[in-house]
Amino acid sequence: MTTSPAQDAPSRDTSASFLGPVDLTGMDALFSAEEKQLALDVRALVDEVIRPNIADWYDRAVFPTEIVPELGRLGVLGMHLHGYGCAGRSAVEYGLAAQELEAGDSGLRTFVSVQGSLAMSAIHKHGSEEQKRQWLPRMAAGEAVGCFGLTEPGAGSDPASMTTTARQEPGGDWVLNGTKRWIGLATLADVAVIWAQTGEHGDGRGVRGFVVPTDTPGFSAEAIAQKLSMRASVQCEIRLDGVRLPADAILPADSALGLKGPFQCLNEARYGIIWGVMGAARDSFNAVLDYAHARTQFGTPLAAFQLTQAKLADMAVAINKGYLLAHQIGRTKDAHGTTPAMISTGKLDNCRVAIGIARDAREMLGGNGITLEHSPLRHANNLESVRTYEGTDEVHQLTIGRALTGIGAFTAAGVRP
Ligand code: TGC
């Protein structure tokens, strides 16, 4: 049997892949020319605007608000949504954009996720026609910023236990009281989607979403300080102190009755993370591959040491597997939609793989790896947040466990008390 020269070649030329030297498995061929162009357009913005400045922004804990209109012009804000000024791109294209943004910094990708996958998705999926027309075109253009208030100081993995309330008064107005925490962008936001208990039961069944202009009296937000992760990004505490809203501020769609309303939005954000974190892993790998050629010890470039090559090989294999998982979930999402267990599989594994690669890359950089001159430790620190938000490892393990066994094990007895 004869084999083609390409099959016999001792090493594949990966220089032509849009994913760079890590593309050992020919992943370039999985994407159309249009999809690759979109990724390259996002990469160009990251290279031009983010890379030269990210160390300084991270050091000073600054989110660069000036990039918001540029992201709007690029068409990545709510890019997977259709109509109302949104780009209507596929799930795979959204994933490719997320991985390029997160190759720059997880905080940048988080901005796009919170704006597009959480705040805009909530209004697009569950909002009235008037709410969509009022907010979505401006949010897609980067002229208005949104945030998504679900998590609370005492309700993280278990949003059903939230204590924020919305009470309807006889005239129809809603009055919101409570505190939200770890809310991305809240101090910058023009509009907040706030989830609150409306029911008698005080559990997930009565949860509803509200569209809250942030200049409404009683709404205040404060940035959380002294973060060791996601420093070029803003996470906040929101206080709702008698926030009075008109009757039509509620997200009216039946799809938003109960916790499935916010969970459908979390699915979108978690999906973006599956791709995004592979961008951070790829950037960490590229950084250390370059360094291994440039750095000489014992008279030999690091790249020529067997232990270095073994580490590079393991990182590259893991990144290929992570991209292939993201690609499989993305194509399935475009063709048939996803299940929660599918999303949890990707979010769980790609986050823990990416953080491992970023940490290994830092280790290979030696002492030089602990400054902001090199990206891996910044990525690893950011990924601590990414691995935690939108569902911890344990939440995703138990979501997968429930899909495999049919038994929910989120509480000790498997049922809510
Ligand atoms: P359960 O109370 O039984 O279910 C409630 C309803 O929701 C439905 N559902 C889903 N629907 C769509 N997609 C999903 N992924 C869904 N998961 C559940 C479910 O079918 C039910 O519907 P219905 O019609 O019967 O009312 O809840 P559960 O037992 O299914 O879920 C338990 C658990 C632990 C999986 C869930 O509570 C969970 O996902 N917890 C993690 C929450 C989380 O990710 N929190 C972090 C949010 S991120 C954030 O707020 C800050 S980061 C963003 C930023 O930077 O601003």
The residues carrying an active-site annotation are 390
Ligand 1 touching residue 414 (CB < 6 A): no
* CATH superfamily entry for domain 20-140: Acyl-CoA dehydrogenase/oxidase, N-terminal domain (1.10.540.10)
Instruction: Give the dihedral of Cα atoms 112, 114, 118, 122; nearest 10 deg.
Output: -90
Q: Among 260, 407, 415, 416, which is best to mutate for testing ligand 1, by the most ligand atoms less than 8 A from CB?
A: 260
* Ligand 1 centre distance from Cα of residue 120 (Å): 18
Residue ranges of domains in the chain: 20-140, 146-258, 261-405
Chain position carrying tokens 């409570």: 178
Q: What pLDDT is attached to residue 90?
A: 98
Q: What pLDDT is attached to residue 414?
A: 54
pLDDT tens readout for residues 43-56: 999 999 999 999 99
Which CATH fold topology does 261-405 show?
Answer: Butyryl-CoA Dehydrogenase, subunit A; domain 3 (1.20.140)
Ligand 1 touching residue 195 (CB < 6 A): no
CATH architecture of the domain with range 146-258 = Beta Barrel (2.40)
What's the CA angle centered on 384, arms 103 and 180, to 5 degrees?
Answer: 110
Among 10-19, 187-196, 398-407, the minimum mean pLDDT is found in: 10-19
Chain position carrying tokens 């709702």: 240
Residues 210 and 176 sit within 8 Å (Cβ to Cβ): yes
Q: What single-letter DSSP state applies at residue 413?
A: T
Q: What pTM, to 2 d.p., does this model score?
A: 0.95
- What does pLDDT average to over the chain? 95
pLDDT tens readout for residues 291-301: 999 999 999 99
Ligand 1 touching residue 391 (CB < 6 A): yes
Ligand 1 touching residue 18 (CB < 6 A): no
Spatial separation of the C-alpha atoms in residues 204 and 222, rounded to whole Å? 26
- Output helix, strand, coil percentages for the chain, rounded to the nearest 5: 55, 15, 30
* Number of C-beta neighbours around residue 125 at 10 A: 18
Q: Whose CA is nearest to atom 37 of ligand 1?
A: 158
Strands 219-223 and 165-168: unpaired
